[in-house]
Structure 1
């Protein structure tokens, strides 16, 4: 039935046949009529094949290497396919004698059974330990079925990964933490049971999620029958970090590096290498590859930060067919899995494993409520895997309430695109809110005031007894804001370019700057927007400084968590411009919050869409009010002392961890174990 034109006028069943023909051809099958069949091609789909008496005609009989291996039952679009499985099963067992002589059968039936409607395809693989229909994006390619057949002939009991994963050897636990052992065993148990097509691992940031995933990949490739794994990272710069994890992983059984045994590659502009066993990418780059677009092998925020306005539609790509991956691992699953990118993940006929520290209800929904392991931040602190943190809050008046620039004030306006500056005199008063600060309007003195307060209290309250500025990461609102902040940091501390650097996608050599921040003894402050927001490890880091709103609790946890060293306390100055009284500490009841009175000149004079010195006389003394997270001016000294209310500490009592808050009349609250 050849039809390449408009098929809307065809009857429903004929239209479905045309769509199925197209899907088969796209997947590499030769579609032929029964009376013109030529089986010399690797994969042939013969229409209207006559079966044995009493078994009717199969809509399509599939041949691989001249042997009948499967059937397709075709139905009109909209048909619920599980209701016609009895028909396809009848064809699978009803081969005529002439065909049966050269057919491949398993327990007297063809091993590959499909139901299709043009909009849906269901596949039952007879080589699975419990054959069960599952929905697939499209038909597998002939060479895919041929490979399964070869593996079945070599070992009939282990033809697919669903069979082989049931007989995995015991996990070698040396060098693994208990939480990592639980996660790996939970993933493998879920794969073996096949009660869910997705698995979720909740593990505190900094507790070793990536190492857990690398260990899982190695075991599944070596013992579980997995051929290729897709590892999705949240940002492209994390791809290099993930590749390094694979390269540095010493296999526990023979000591070789994983990359000496299996090829681990990033998804590049050339596409996916056939020899790759593990492919590392962002979901945006996978989507681009499925569309056939070429993406440069460089960090590109226009690609890696791209979020479409509506859920994406995915089309079949023979260069990356649905069976290209057996497993998809989504690192930091809370950001990629649901919503607009869901179609990319569901394109692949693969089990999906999600790794996250901060699941939300949509995450649980996508992963079918299949939480295979759970390791909270509170538990990681109790186990000395992670460290707790203190919150130090700096507030200014205009960051809380905004301000007004009076009419007649001469201000510079800056073009965001070109950064060309020109001066204008305001005809009317300009009132701006806290949320417009550092976006539509920037006040240089406000930025300086926050940084000066941080500098003045750094060695007396935040890190008492220190003499060297701790490694500090400052989060800004956008690249223009970051530009001003890095300049102000150098001026406030009286240091040069090697003291503070901007590390954003727009900076020159951001990867080199990030490496320098990790290793250089002189580079103490990094200023960023989102590039180091999730998952980037900077072990010397001790201080995370927010000069921006973070309205997502889960994103906040990711931004502050993964960059701190094990077994080392660190400060978390909440020096945000515009955060107000929002509470940045959400999880586990842990908090040690301190306010700082920001005394000095809080610049109310500013300019729109740019930066300038404020007009004279616009400054004012600013005193931090009493916030709900602490008392203004409380020094950040040893946790848990009577003289410092608002501090929280962890103590183990009777086998449980409790939060003991040193506050008169306060009750100890039970926390999670």
Structure 2
């Protein structure tokens, strides 16, 4: 038997014939400890116009596990023509995502072993026969982590597996493991920061499951401040707890259950008899999970903080997408620094969260302001205070019907231009604004409302009919409601996976609130074609994207009065002055005046600023007959770091192509060498090149070959029709039989109409006009002499199409 020629083997062959045998020989179990082709990311979505494409991502060749919950090592393979350590840097990237200290790279000759647990020799070369055993790596890993004997049963407890193949994503697994490790080490105050849409509740469930199954925690309380959050959790992610779980209702805590889900409001209130949490001893719960902990429970003087303080002996884990850091409210002061953070930026880069485009709409009265005439009265006969009303006033202290109508019509026009059934959330200033917006949208969409009167619904805290439709709105299988107008109720915790349009007609200065609202659109649902979403901004709220803290770690903000600046004993290292007493942090990033803080599930009320001479609310004026118009409407794209993308898609494509092909000759050589051109087209689509978007910028009917030559190398492009005609002029078909000539001529027409994919697809000849020529067998066998000859003819046809003898290249 002749020896194997390693140099001729593919990467897959190297894995199969050399690496897996070496790993299994070292004692690794193929069923539970070895996983191949582990896909860690989904691939970033690139959006231009109405088109989107996912970037292709590579998978880790092999990941080794101690248990499914604990990855230990990454093995990255390369073909033998490469140096043994060629794949090491790629492996280190996967190891970072998995948070593992061991990386092996190999070309089949041996391994380069990168060992973070050995700082004296980070990298060494070992033979195939010397691959470490599971016990060796686990011992090194445990020592590296500093696990004690008492920690081991907890940290090695498996996560819940329902047998469906679903497992935690890499960042969820990191969050779960780091939290479980912290609890096992005796840390009782833990903060997890994960962007909206990244599965905080699923992560919380797996944390509880592992601690509960390991008997490290016996009674658990999951706390939230909105009923929808508790119900979604109970029905969905927490369902496996089954009979061990209950929702606390009627202010009764039943000790027969082990997992308790509760609203703060069900456990406490201003009256002593409402403080249901006191029914049980302070040590009753040993684990408390606080959902959306940036809200009420974070404030020291909150009525809800008393629950956490009563059960102070319990381990308390705070979950949030937006940790709140102000002088009055600090998650970090209470919980400590986050044990793990996964940001919106990371989620979009990885392809787990949807990117967004922004349509900014400027309205003339917003930019220029509006002033009443002398003695002018509003619709209710109230004389209007004489001053200039601007964007911050509209729909708070001043309602202009024509402005509401213009916003509603703009929303409607956008949906008609894109998708009239796209789930849409319109964020308004208060519930009365939400009701007016609902009416305006109903009138603008009379045809849709005639089909179903739930096309537009107001979903606010005061509206039982609207709230009853919330589940239908967030259910992808339910078509209606399509448009939801709201103010506060839907800012957080509403899992609207298929929301494609987020409308901002609300004054938003709070970074916390802004990120929560943006989070309503960031979920991806491939099954329903939701890969990206649009933000339609009427109030310049998206200027917050430019804030350097948009997706960063929150900083502590100190609020003070001007007089305090001169106080040498104030103890402030940094003072951010709020001289106009407008509740802003000196940088314009806190709750706008007149809005409730987010200490509760409030969505009610007509919030206005200040007070009149008698201590009552400022009157909200309501006028009509004002001429209102759009000054500008422009589309903007933001990258994952919140920076405005100024390059055109053509520029993006040129930059991407220059990384793929060194020169025009390099591209043509690779194109001609490819057996099927669609392979290259698909690979480039995997890099985020959207051919439809390019066509919009460059021109329609241009072949990807010419598109690349033109965009990347400044060559004059030919259309597909011109290329097809050039082939026909050369009498190219004469060497084939009459039937074959007819088939190739029709394939050339197909190419001119739709592109090279139709030429390469064998199924193309199974439909008209080819069925008029003959059956598939008659065409292939009779016309060309067989399948091999047919495939060769297709290859030669493509060579003729892309011949460089014409002006194309």
Shift of 1:275: 1.4
Q: What TM-score does the superposition give when structure 1 sets the normalisation length? A: 0.56
**Separation of aligned partners in 2, 1:235 and 1:650:** 47
1:452-601 equivalence runs, <5 A: 452-458=409-415, 460=417, 466-494=418-446, 495-496=448-449, 497-519=453-475, 520-562=478-520, 564-567=523-526, 568-577=530-539, 579=541, 583=545, 587-588=550-551
Shift of 1:588: 4.6
**Separation of aligned partners in 2, 1:452 and 1:489:** 7
Q: 1:233 aligns with which of 224, 233, 236?
A: 224
Partner of 2:360: 393
Partner of 2:269: 288
Contact 2:359/2:634 (8 A) holds in 1:
no
1:361-372 equivalence runs, <5 A: 361=325, 362-369=330-337, 371-372=338-339
Q: 1:347 aligns with which of 307, 310, 315?
A: 310
**Separation of aligned partners in 2, 1:637 and 1:551:** 19
Superposition RMSD in Å: 3.8
Structure 1 576/271 Cα, relative in aligned 2: closer, same or farther at 3 Å?
A: farther
> Secondary structure, in 3 states, of the residue corresponding to 1:323?
coil
Shift of 1:186: 0.9
Structure 1 197/659 Cα, relative in aligned 2: closer, same or farther at 3 Å?
A: farther
Structure 2 regions of 5+ residues with no counterpart?
1-147, 553-617, 661-686, 695-809
Structure 1 220/636 Cα, relative in aligned 2: closer, same or farther at 3 Å?
A: closer
**Separation of aligned partners in 2, 1:647 and 1:511:** 44
Q: Does 1:171 align with 2:173?
A: no
Shift of 1:558: 1.6
> Secondary structure, in 3 states, of the residue corresponding to 1:501?
strand
Q: 1:189 aligns with which of 181, 186, 192?
A: 181
Shift of 1:503: 0.6
Partner of 1:614: 624
Contact 2:224/2:292 (8 A) holds in 1:
yes
Shift of 1:334: 1.6
Q: Does 1:259 align with 2:218?
A: no
Contact 2:363/2:628 (8 A) holds in 1:
no
Structure 1 259/401 Cα, relative in aligned 2: closer, same or farther at 3 Å?
A: farther
Structure 1 221/428 Cα, relative in aligned 2: closer, same or farther at 3 Å?
A: closer
Shift of 1:579: 4.8
Contact 1:640/1:647 (8 A) holds in 2:
no
User: Greater share of helix residues, 1 or 2?
Assistant: 2
Structure 1 438/177 Cα, relative in aligned 2: closer, same or farther at 3 Å?
A: same
> Secondary structure, in 3 states, of the residue corresponding to 1:405?
coil
Deviations 1:400-423 (A, max 9, x none): 45311223444223xxxxxxxxx3
Shift of 1:441: 1.6
Structure 1 337/646 Cα, relative in aligned 2: closer, same or farther at 3 Å?
A: farther
**Separation of aligned partners in 2, 1:583 and 1:406:** 37
1:410-449 equivalence runs, <5 A: 410-413=377-380, 423-424=381-382, 426=383, 429=386, 431-449=388-406
> Secondary structure, in 3 states, of the residue corresponding to 1:490?
helix
**Separation of aligned partners in 1, 2:315 and 2:638:** 49
Contact 1:214/1:245 (8 A) holds in 2:
no
Partner of 2:613: none
Partner of 1:222: 213
Structure 1 380/633 Cα, relative in aligned 2: closer, same or farther at 3 Å?
A: closer
Q: What TM-score does the superposition give when structure 2 sets the normalisation length? A: 0.47
**Separation of aligned partners in 2, 1:507 and 1:646:** 49
Structure 1 319/487 Cα, relative in aligned 2: closer, same or farther at 3 Å?
A: same
Q: Does 1:244 align with 2:235?
A: yes
Shift of 1:489: 0.8
**Separation of aligned partners in 2, 1:452 and 1:500:** 14
**Separation of aligned partners in 2, 1:649 and 1:181:** 37
Structure 1 375/474 Cα, relative in aligned 2: closer, same or farther at 3 Å?
A: same
**Separation of aligned partners in 2, 1:208 and 1:243:** 15
Deviations 1:514-558 (A, max 9, x none): 122234324210011111111111122111111102222122212
> Secondary structure, in 3 states, of the residue corresponding to 1:633?
strand
**Separation of aligned partners in 2, 1:375 and 1:410:** 53
Partner of 1:404: 371
1:37-436 equivalence runs, <5 A: 166-168=152-154, 169-172=156-159, 175-194=167-186, 196-248=187-239, 257-260=240-243, 262=244, 264-288=245-269, 291-293=272-274, 318-339=278-299, 340-341=301-302, 342-348=305-311, 349-361=313-325, 362-369=330-337, 371-413=338-380, 423-424=381-382, 426=383, 429=386, 431-436=388-393
**Separation of aligned partners in 2, 1:205 and 1:651:** 30
**Separation of aligned partners in 1, 2:655 and 2:463:** 41
Contact 1:283/1:336 (8 A) holds in 2:
no
> Secondary structure, in 3 states, of the residue corresponding to 1:435?
coil
**Separation of aligned partners in 1, 2:645 and 2:391:** 34
**Separation of aligned partners in 2, 1:530 and 1:427:** 28
**Separation of aligned partners in 2, 1:612 and 1:645:** 48
Structure 1 484/428 Cα, relative in aligned 2: closer, same or farther at 3 Å?
A: closer
Partner of 2:77: none
> Secondary structure, in 3 states, of the residue corresponding to 2:268?
helix
Deviations 1:377-403 (A, max 9, x none): 222222221111112111213234531
Deviations 1:105-132 (A, max 9, x none): xxxxxxxxxxxxxxxxxxxxxxxxxxxx
Contact 1:499/1:523 (8 A) holds in 2:
yes
> Secondary structure, in 3 states, of the residue corresponding to 1:434?
coil
Structure 1 218/643 Cα, relative in aligned 2: closer, same or farther at 3 Å?
A: closer
Structure 1 480/634 Cα, relative in aligned 2: closer, same or farther at 3 Å?
A: closer
**Separation of aligned partners in 2, 1:333 and 1:325:** 18
**Separation of aligned partners in 1, 2:651 and 2:619:** 39
Which stretch of structure 1 is more off in the superposition, 498-507 or 358-367?
A: 358-367
Aligned residues: 422
Shift of 1:454: 2.9
Deviations 1:110-164 (A, max 9, x none): xxxxxxxxxxxxxxxxxxxxxxxxxxxxxxxxxxxxxxxxxxxxxxxxxxxx997
Contact 2:357/2:638 (8 A) holds in 1:
no
**Separation of aligned partners in 2, 1:386 and 1:274:** 40
Structure 1 270/283 Cα, relative in aligned 2: closer, same or farther at 3 Å?
A: closer
**Separation of aligned partners in 1, 2:462 and 2:426:** 16
Structure 1 regions of 5+ residues with no counterpart?
1-161, 249-256, 296-316, 414-422, 461-465, 590-607, 625-631, 663-673
